[in-house]
Amino acid sequence: MLKRGKAAKLLTVLLGTTLAIAACGKSEEGAYAPASASAGASATASAPGGKSGEKLKLTLMIAPVDDPSSKIEEQMVAEHFKDKYDITFKAWDSNAEKTLKTTIAASEPIDVAMYWPGAMETFVDSDMALDLTPYLEADDGAWKKTFVGNALAAGTYDGKVYAVPYAAVYPLLEVNKDITDKAGVVFPDGPLSWDDFMKALATIKEKTGIMPLGLYKDWGAWVPRNNLITVWPDEQTRSDFAAGKIPFTDPLAVKAFDASKELYDKFVYPGKGALSTTLEQVNVAFKAGKIAIKADVNILAAQSVKESGLPNVQIVSWPIMGLNHVLGGSNGYMIPANVPHPEASVEIIKYLTSAEVLQKRVDAGAPVTVSGVKSDDPNFALYAKDIANIQSEEVMHLSTKITDILNAKMPASYIFNGKSSLEELEKLRLEAIK
């Protein structure tokens, strides 16, 4: 008979063996070496253990679910590389960051992912993103030269480029002129001041009886973020606030939050519950004339106006509290630091940021960040009119936690908790600037 002590010893040995096996597996899998940055190397030759002539398997996560152009891009990439790579596409959704980090930690990274160049701290700080600078600089900077202006600046951290942009993105307002005409409200083609904006909303509400502004719940944070960029009296103060030198409890910062709360309290559709409105609900309300103004992103505006079926839509700049800026940056692509075939990933991104692919976006009315594209749409310039005013320097970039609060929890936290919600931000600011 197996005695209790022996059974316990046997179980201990088995458990120890299991732990050892798991630990060995982990150490091998976890042996992470930064990917080589030898630009221009052949991708097909780098398949470790792969049979000669076998196509490399790549996984791309490049298509946000609400971006119709990205689906076309997936098809173009699949077609372009069909003889070279065996590509699997993964949907890009609100869990993208978690998906990316989980796969990176498991040493099975996504080979190319869409991400915002201006929000790469979370990857850069943990060495999770591949430095693309050597690839951009290769061949006398051939790839780098395809990007317009200082488009690469948003994805540059400590002089290294970790994400390349494909579209300059900023918010704007689509105004149903039939409703605003009825209310006797005229929006300017140039900058729109916050006070004029609030007066216009009040007039629309009073004259037509509708909640004037439709704002998708995930974009609600744009209101306080843009106010925090534009509320300052001059560029130096704005820059100081973005650098964490001015507290969140400063009267002007509080004014920016108060203004956001007032907007939500009075004018955002459907009133109570505005913080949970889906994009679909906003679209339906805009189409049905239940709202006069829809907040949108410039790269989706052309499609949105077309789908609304409204004959008379005016594109209006996002309201400002003082300085003429608009929050924004760019959508772009990044490569996890531990991808097995960095050259293949770079090759895919080069194609995705080529004029050949991005012309399709331009055809859909979305401005892009590369040269060599043309648009026949007479309204195309409207969707790019505020690109020069984009201000990507924001206080939320001080730390991931501040980003999370300002981008995911505001303005709800301020609306329900008032100034006490700024205490947490203030604590995080002090931690970040230590």
Partner 1 sequence: MKFGKQSSALTLKTRLLGTSFLIPALLFIGATMVVPIGWNAVLSFATWNGMGAMKAAGWSNYTAFFQDTVTLKGFYYSIFIAVVSSAIAVLSGLLLALLIHRTGRREGAFYRFVFFAPAMMPLVVIGLLFTFVLSPDTGLLNHVLRAMGLQSLEHAWLAEPGIVLWTIAVIGGWRFSGFVMMLAYTAIVALPGSLFEAAKLEGLGYVRQARLIILPLIMPTIRLVTMLMLILSFKTYDIVWAMTRGGPGDFSRTVPVRMLDVAFRYNEFGYSAAISVMLTIVVSVIIALSRKLTKGNVYEY
Which stretches of the chain bind partner 1, using CB under 8 A?
1-2, 7, 10-11, 14-15, 18-19, 21-22, 32, 94, 97-98, 101-102, 104-105, 122, 125-128, 217, 269-278, 281, 284-285, 290, 337-338, 400-401, 404, 408-410, 412-413, 415-417, 421, 424
| Least distance between partner 1 and beta carbon 257 (Å) | 13
| Least distance between partner 1 and beta carbon 408 (Å) | 8
| Least distance between partner 1 and beta carbon 277 (Å) | 8
Rg of the chain taking only CA atoms, in angstroms? 25
- Between 105 and 138, CB nearer to partner 1: 105
Contact 384, 413 (CB under 8 A): no
Question: Where do the H-state alpha helices sit in 235-326?
Answer: 235-242, 251-267, 279-287, 298-308
How far is Cα 300 from Cα 20, in angstroms, rounded to an integer? 52
Q: Is 211 exposed, middle or buried (0-12, 13-18, 19+ CB in 10 A)?
A: buried
Pairing of strands 293-297, 213-214: parallel
Distance of alpha carbon 131 from the chain centroid: 19
| Least distance between partner 1 and beta carbon 146 (Å) | 31
131: alpha, beta or left, given left = phi > 0 and alpha = psi -120 to 50?
beta
Q: Is 26 exposed, middle or buried (0-12, 13-18, 19+ CB in 10 A)?
A: exposed
- Between 187 and 414, CB nearer to partner 1: 414
| Least distance between partner 1 and beta carbon 283 (Å) | 12
- Between 11 and 45, CB nearer to partner 1: 11
- Between 51 and 98, CB nearer to partner 1: 98
- Between 55 and 401, CB nearer to partner 1: 401
- Between 277 and 345, CB nearer to partner 1: 277
Instruction: Cis check for the bond before 34: say yes or no (omega within 30 of 0).
Output: no
How many angstroms separate the first and last alpha carbons of the chain?
65
| Least distance between partner 1 and beta carbon 402 (Å) | 11
| Least distance between partner 1 and beta carbon 405 (Å) | 9
| Among 40, 38, 33, 81, residue whose Cα is nearest residue 59 | 81
Q: Name, in order, each residue with C-beta under 8 angstroms of 79's C-beta and a sequence gap of 6 or more.
A: none
- Between 99 and 193, CB nearer to partner 1: 99
Strand segments, DSSP code E, in 254-382 are: 293-297, 313-317, 326-327, 329-334
| Least distance between partner 1 and beta carbon 126 (Å) | 4
- Between 94 and 236, CB nearer to partner 1: 94
Residue 92 vs residues 62, 63, 67, 274, 427: alpha-carbon distances, Å:
6, 5, 10, 25, 33
